[in-house]
Amino acid sequence: MPGVLIITDSSTCLPAEISHSLDIMILPISVHLPDAASAIVEEADGSTWELTGDLATEELMGANHPFVTEYLSSIETPGYDAALVITPAVEFSTMFRNAALASELATRPTVVHDSRTAAAGQALVVLAAARAAQRGETLEGVRAVAEIASRRVVLVASLASVEPILRSGEVAEEVLTHDDDPGARSHFKMRDGVIEPLGSAPDALSSLALLCEAYRSGTGGGVEASTVFHAGAQPLADDLAELAGGVDFISGFSIAMQVYTGTGVVGIAWLPATMAG
């Protein structure tokens, strides 16, 4: 039965088995490396890459977001009545603008939705919308589900270094807590397009405790969905998921996300069952 096609981008870092099972279309992001003959294009099937060696500290040339033509081609995929495109918060990417232009050219009903978050937070918004689409909701119904999820979703993260994200220019310097001590980690919270500092921790163990406390304080009324994410820090992600009492899935950052955040990132995102948190 034709329905609503859900389209998003590979910065959501959704595991392939989840995106495939819910018929979510993932558009890849290309990343340009210095002195490389060509761009490395992320797999759109949930594959992840790790920045290693000199690339981890190199000032990379950035990422190419999906073009208007790519969004338009996806929107026009045969077999659907309508499309909902879900993008990262407009403050942090051009994807919403590209998708909005494509929607104006589309021949089928299309809504472009700003998730008001990014990465794993965006993944939870996408999943909520995709499940509504699978239930047979109309385009407006699916959009309403996405809007509610976007208002509720919370993401907290720990950075091994603030340098990559400051270099990207996507986050104001005053938002992140600097600590020059070896092993210190900076923390932030993202909700409704706003990033707030959560202070620093002297080591990874203290960092996980801080993240877990933020999670627990934000899910006092229960949790509808949750995910732990990381950038080349699987052991930390596993430990955080255990401390949190289990999550729906653990995902690795795509290379495009690592360009902006560097390696060593770990965090947790969730949809509270109530407006708590």
Sign (positive/negative) of CA torsion 163, 256, 238, 220? positive
Paired sense of beta strands 185-191 and 154-159, if any: antiparallel
Q: How many Cβ atoms from other residues are within 10 Å of residue 253's Cβ? A: 28
Tokens (6 digits) for 254:
């795509």
Residue 56 DSSP class: G
**Residues 116 and 175 reside in one and the same domain:** no
**According to the model, what pLDDT value does residue 44 have?**
52
Task: Locate the DSSP E strands across 14-153.
Answer: 24-27, 30-31, 40-41, 63-64, 82-87, 110-114
**Residues 66 and 38 reside in one and the same domain:** yes
**Residues 29 and 57 reside in one and the same domain:** yes
**According to the model, what pLDDT value does residue 58 have?**
45
Local mean pLDDT, 10-residue blocks, the chain (277 residues)? 89 92 92 54 50 46 79 97 96 91 98 96 98 97 98 94 62 58 87 91 95 95 95 95 96 79 91 69
| Cβ atoms 87, 99 nearer than 8 A | yes
Q: CATH number, domain at 267?
A: 3.30.1180.10
**Residues 123 and 28 reside in one and the same domain:** yes
**Residues 235 and 129 reside in one and the same domain:** no
Tokens (6 digits) for 91:
């403050």
**Residues 142 and 182 reside in one and the same domain:** no
**According to the model, what pLDDT value does residue 150 have?**
97
**Residues 130 and 170 reside in one and the same domain:** no
**According to the model, what pLDDT value does residue 55 have?**
47
**According to the model, what pLDDT value does residue 103 have?**
98
| Cβ atoms 249, 46 nearer than 8 A | no
Final residue belonging to a domain, choices 124, 151, 178: 151
Q: CATH number, domain at 40?
A: 3.40.50.10170
**According to the model, what pLDDT value does residue 263 have?**
85
Nearest to 269, CA basis, from 242, 243, 254, 249: 249
Non-local CB neighbours of 219 within 8 Å, separated by 6+ positions: 226, 270, 272, 273, 276, 277
| Cβ atoms 150, 115 nearer than 8 A | yes
Paired sense of beta strands 194-201 and 185-191, if any: antiparallel
**Residues 143 and 168 reside in one and the same domain:** no
**According to the model, what pLDDT value does residue 144 have?**
98
**Residues 135 and 160 reside in one and the same domain:** no
Final residue belonging to a domain, choices 109, 135, 151: 151
**According to the model, what pLDDT value does residue 277 have?**
42
Q: Does 277 reside within a domain?
A: no
**Residues 68 and 84 reside in one and the same domain:** yes
Paired sense of beta strands 82-87 and 110-114, if any: parallel
Owning domain of residue 203 = 154-272
Q: Helix %, strand %, coil % for the chain, to 5?
A: 40, 25, 40
**Residues 162 and 71 reside in one and the same domain:** no
Q: Report the domain count for the chain.
A: 2
Give the Cα separation of 277 and 220 in Å (integer).
Answer: 8
Q: Distance between the two ends of the chain, CA-based, in angstroms?
A: 38
Q: How many Cβ atoms from other residues are within 10 Å of residue 247's Cβ? A: 22
